[in-house]
Amino acid sequence: MDTNIQNSYNEAKKLYEKHGVDVEDVLERLSRIKISLHCWQGDDVRGFLNKGQELSGGIAVTGSYPGRAGTPDQLRQDLEKAFEFIPGQHKVNLHAIYADTEEHIDLDELEPRHFENWVSWAKEKGYGLDFNPTCFSHDKAKDGFTLSHSNPEIREFWIKHCKASRKIAESFGRELGQPCVTNFWIPDGYKDTPVDRMSPRVRLMESLDDIFSEPISEEYNIDAVESKLFGIGSESYVVGSHEFYMGYALTRGKTLCFDSGHFHPTETISNKLSSWLLFGDQLLLHVSRPVRWDSDHVVTMDDELLDIARELVRGELLDKTHIGLDFFDGSINHVAAWVIGTRNTLKALLRAMLEPVDKLKEIELEGDFTSRLALVEEFKSYPFGAIWDYYCSKADTPVREDWLAEVKHYEKEVLFKR
Ligand code: RNT
Ligand code: ZN
DSSP result, 219-271: TTEEEEEE--S-BTTBSSEESS-HHHHHHHHHHHTPEEEEETTSS-TT--SGG
Which of the 8 DSSP states describes residue 297? B
pLDDT of residue 35: 98
Per-residue pLDDT 10s for the chain (418 aa) are 999 999 999 999 999 999 999 999 999 999 999 999 999 999 999 999 988 899 999 999 999 999 999 999 999 999 999 999 999 999 999 999 999 999 999 999 999 999 999 999 999 999 999 999 999 999 999 999 999 999 999 999 999 999 999 999 999 999 999 999 999 999 999 999 999 999 999 999 999 999 999 999 999 999 999 999 999 999 999 999 999 999 999 999 999 999 999 999 999 999 999 999 999 999 999 999 999 999 999 999 999 999 999 999 999 999 999 999 999 999 999 999 999 999 999 999 999 999 999 999 999 999 999 999 999 999 999 999 999 999 999 999 999 999 999 999 999 999 999 9
Binding site annotation covers 334?
no
The partner residues of 237 in beta bridges, in order of sequence, read: 190
pLDDT of residue 50: 83
188 C-beta closer than 6 A to ligand 1 = no
Task: Please name which of 264, 265, 266, 260 lies closest in space to residue 312, comparing C-alpha atoms.
Answer: 260
Mutate to test the pocket of ligand 1, among 294, 326, 327, 328 (most ligand atoms within 8 A of CB): 326
pLDDT of residue 157: 98
Q: Following DSSP, what letter does each residue of 89-103 receive, concatenated?
A: --EEEEEGGG---SS
Binding site annotation covers 294?
yes
pLDDT of residue 52: 81
100 C-beta closer than 6 A to ligand 1 = no
Q: Ligand 2 centroid vs 259 CA: distance in angstroms?
A: 5
Binding site annotation covers 139?
no
Torsion of Cα atoms, 246 then 247 then 248 then 254, to 10°: 50
Task: Please name which of 198, 196, 193, 201 lies closest in space to residue 236, comparing C-alpha atoms.
Answer: 193
CA distance 60 to 39: 16
Q: What is the position in ligand 1's atom list of the atom closest to the CA of 328?
A: 10
Cα within 13 Å of Cα(250), Cβ side: 11
DSSP strand pairing (237-238 vs 255-259):
unpaired
CA distances from 50 to 55, 98, 117 (A): 11, 10, 18
CA distance 371 to 365: 11
Mutate to test the pocket of ligand 1, among 107, 226, 256 (most ligand atoms within 8 A of CB): 226
DSSP H/E element including 128: strand 128-132
Neighbours of ion ligand 2 (CB under 5 A): 259, 286, 326
Q: Which of 44, 175, 311, 326 is catalytic?
A: 326
Number of helices (H) and strands (E), helices first, in the chain? 14, 10
Mutate to test the pocket of ligand 1, among 37, 41, 43, 59 (most ligand atoms within 8 A of CB): 59
Q: Which of 43, 188, 226, 304 is catalytic?
A: 226
Please, what is the Cα angle at 162 between 157 and 166, to 5 degrees?
Answer: 145
335 C-beta closer than 6 A to ligand 1 = no
CA distances from 183 to 58, 256, 323, 347, 359 (A): 17, 9, 12, 25, 37
pLDDT of residue 336: 98
Residue bearing the CA closest to ligand 1, atom 5: 326
Q: Rounded to two decimals, what is the model's pTM?
A: 0.98
DSSP strand pairing (237-238 vs 283-287):
unpaired
Task: Please name which of 249, 228, 36, 264 lies closest in space to residue 136, comparing C-alpha atoms.
Answer: 228
Domain limits, the chain:
33-355
Q: Is the dihedral of CA 340, 265, 348, 256 positive or negative?
A: negative
Among this protein's residues, is 228 annotated catalytic? yes
Q: Ligand 1 centroid vs 326 CA: distance in angstroms?
A: 7
> 3-class SS at 150?
coil
CA distance 45 to 301: 24
CATH code given to domain 33-355? 3.20.20.150
Residue bearing the CA closest to ligand 1, atom 10: 326
Q: Is the dihedral of CA 147, 149, 153, 154 positive or negative?
A: negative
DSSP strand pairing (180-184 vs 189-190):
unpaired
